[in-house]
Chain A
């Protein structure tokens, strides 16, 4: 599968612990997005990278959340001091165009459960 890959697929953690997720976009894509999806809801935008630059962050991204894309390739999303409300599916997507109408390709997501 040469699409967007995310690791791990599932993560169970105790409240208060830190977690880190990884996203590998399609290799030629310079744009990368993180979304969060909770049960019964559509994906909610978290943040966006163009190459290594983080250009937009949602208000949903509290201080406990940080995302990086150090070399403009893979990205990591870290959640510090996890809370039960952080339990969700975290989706990564990428595309290669900054122009109107580009299709975003999604990974299969990382399902986080905070107990």
Chain B
């Protein structure tokens, strides 16, 4: 079965400090991984996806198939990064259903 875990419900960092939001997944095939973000009072939106290999708002994430992880990183946290972050997976056999993790609430302290 496909599953996404995010071990931290809450993460607090100081402004300017590095951030790492952890994500692990369970899937035997080749998944497609995403990070979605939800800012306060806004809708859920895509932050980045592993196949794009982009850096969005300073965030990057590398898919590590050996460790089945897709951790989200940013070298210097900003106050505007405070939000709810969801790691998500789409299995190669189901191009349409995206499975979300429980989410991590990031708080950046000024």
User: Which residues of A approach B to under 8 Å, CB–CB?
Assistant: 3-4, 31, 33, 35, 40-45, 48, 50, 55-56, 91, 93, 98-109
Contacts and interface: CB of A to CB of B under 8 A. Distances in A.
- The dominant DSSP class at the B interface is loop
Given A35-B100, A101-B49, 9 more contacts: A4-B43, A33-B98, A40-B9, A42-B103, A43-B86, A56-B96, A98-B95, A99-B95, A100-B51
Contact of B98 (A3, A40, A104): A104
Contacts, number: 57
- The dominant DSSP class at the A interface is loop
A45 B102 contact: no
Contact of A55 (B43, B46, B88, B96): B96
A99 to B, nearest CB: 7
B32 A45 contact: no
For the side of the interface on B, what is the size category? 20 to 34
A106 B44 contact: yes
Contact of B97 (A41, A56, A100): A56
Contacts of A41: 102-103
Interface of B: 4, 9, 32, 43-46, 49, 51-52, 86, 88, 94-103
A114 B9 CA distance: 26
